[in-house]
Amino acid sequence: NAGVMQNPRHLVRRRGQEARLRCSPMKGHSHVYWYRQLPEEGLKFMVYLQKENIIDESGMPKERFSAEFPKEGPSILRIQQVVRGDSAAYFCASSPQRYEQYFGPGTRLTVT
Amino acid sequence: SQQGEEDPQALSIQEGENATMNCSYKTSINNLQWYRQNSGRGLVHLILIRSNEREKHSGRLRVTLDTSKKSSSLLITASRAADTASYFCGQETSGSRLTFGEGTQLTVNP
């Protein structure tokens, strides 16, 4: 049973470009969460999605960030017009609700 | 202080010793989950303890929860060098999101 998969593992973008981060949840999990971790800090919640629905996006910056979890395919976290402050590790977790959240290996985004 | 703080920020012990890390939170929780993170890696789930539970064990790990004090502790017994990592507690409140603190950096010296 494969765990949560994220790709790419490392992503380098220049300022102003777009970053697309993908997350495939564990088999049977329909709940996906995105978190961001800045260096030397804990994880900060960004968004919680179920298939085709955004349940809670209170942790998402109002501009440039969007997330989706389509009926088919992985969940996508999209960052438009990236800036240096977006450099961070982005983690995806999946769960059946009210149970453990299992985290993927993360995508490390570097904005140059 | 923010929701979810681990204490201490850093802990250095010798192999074989026990390590205790604490986590405090502010609002009521559904459950609390402890994770380990090795440098540059993802989070590995260790133990989930529900709000109506007081103690759980898994191998060398023991987690306690005191809802009256809004605190939890993680005890690692007979520590090994491989236990060196950052440890985070995540509190699940309403809406299923997890709120994390800054973590405790544990170093186990051989």
pLDDT at residue B1, as a whole number = 35
**Residues of A near B (CB-CB distance < 8 A)?**
31, 33, 35, 40-45, 48, 55-56, 59, 91, 93, 95, 97-106, 108
pLDDT at residue A1, as a whole number = 53
Which residue in A99, A105, A108, A110 sits closest to A5, CA to CA?
A: A105
- Specify burial of residue A110 (Cβ count, 10 A radius: 0-12, 13-18, 19+): middle
Residue with tokens 């985070």: B88
Which residues in chain A have their CB less than 8 angstroms from residue B96's CB?
A: 31, 33, 48, 55-56, 95, 97-98
Whether the pLDDT of residue B2 is over 60: the answer is: no
Please state, in angstroms and rounded to a whole number, the distance separating the CA atoms of residues B103 and B87: 5
Q: What percent of chain A has pLDDT over 70?
A: 97
Omega before A105 cis (within 30°)?
A: no
Which residues have C-beta within 8 Å of that of residue B14, sequence separation ≥ 6? Answer: B79, B108, B109
Which residues in chain B have their CB less than 8 angstroms from residue A91's CB?
A: 42-43
Please state, in angstroms and rounded to a whole number, the distance separating the CA atoms of residues B57 and A39: 31
Closest CB to A42: pick one of B30, B97, B102: B102
Neighbours of A40 (CB within 10 A): 9
Q: What percent of chain B has pLDDT over 90?
A: 72
Question: pLDDT of B4-18, one tens digit each?
Answer: 678 888 999 999 999
Q: Chain A residue with minimal CA distance to B48?
A: A100
Residue with tokens 């987690």: B63
Which residue in A51, A48, A82, A76 sits closest to A64, CA to CA?
A: A82
pLDDT at residue A106, as a whole number = 95
pLDDT at residue B95, as a whole number = 67
Question: pLDDT of B20-58, one tens digit each?
Answer: 999 999 888 889 999 999 988 889 999 999 999 999 999
Please state, in angstroms and rounded to a whole number, the distance separating the CA atoms of residues B104 and B6: 6
